[in-house]
Amino acid sequence: MDDRDGDRPNTSRGIDLPHDIPGRFASILAGLFFSSCGVTALVGLLENGFRMAVFGFYELSVASAVFGIALVLWGLAKPRWVEALLNRVVIHATLVFGVLFLPFVIEFLMILARGN
């Protein structure tokens, strides 16, 4: 073992999913909540027809549904590929939130520049 790596903490990148029974049960409950919210929002959006104005809501609804389904799968079977899927969904949702937040930042900076 190299001495240079001895002071570095042993951390993993991404979500740390629970491995015990109560944690897996909580994952199932959280997964059911997120997937039902995501699917309900997606069905409500699709009933009104596709509009680009609400494309971000489509993305977040699908991300919520996939996140919830992956949590339920993790709680029931604990497959290894679910961890990678959850990490990709979280990264995707973070990017969508960032893109949706960018216009508000620009508007805030314009308000500060005008002095209102």
Query: Does residue 13 have a pLDDT over 70?
Result: no
Q: Kindly report the pTM of this predicted structure.
A: 0.58
Structure tokens at 6: 């001895």
* Cα separation values, 12 from 17, 77, 92, Å: 11, 22, 19
Q: What is the mean pLDDT of residues 77-86?
A: 76
Sign, CA torsion 48/50/56/62? positive
**How high is the pLDDT of residue 10?**
58
Q: What is the mean pLDDT of residues 63-90?
A: 80
Contacts of 101 (CB under 8 A, 6+ apart): none
**How high is the pLDDT of residue 89?**
79
Helix 21-47 and helix 55-76: axis angle, to 10°?
Answer: 150
Q: What is the pLDDT of residues 19-64, one digit of tens each?
A: 788 888 888 898 899 888 888 888 887 787 766 667 767 777 887 8
Taking the C-alpha atoms of residue 38 and residue 60, their distance in angstroms, rounded to an integer, is 8
Structure tokens at 9: 């903490």
Higher-confidence residue: 103 or 56? 103
Query: Does residue 14 have a pLDDT over 70?
Result: no
Compute and round to an integer the Cα radius of gyration of the chain. Answer: 19
Band (79; pLDDT cuts 50, 70, 90): confident
Q: If phi over 0 gives left and psi between -120 and 50 gives alpha, with beta otherwise, what is residue 17?
A: beta
Mean pLDDT of the chain: 76
> Whose CA is closest to 54, among 66, 44, 64?
44
SS3 assignment, position 39: helix
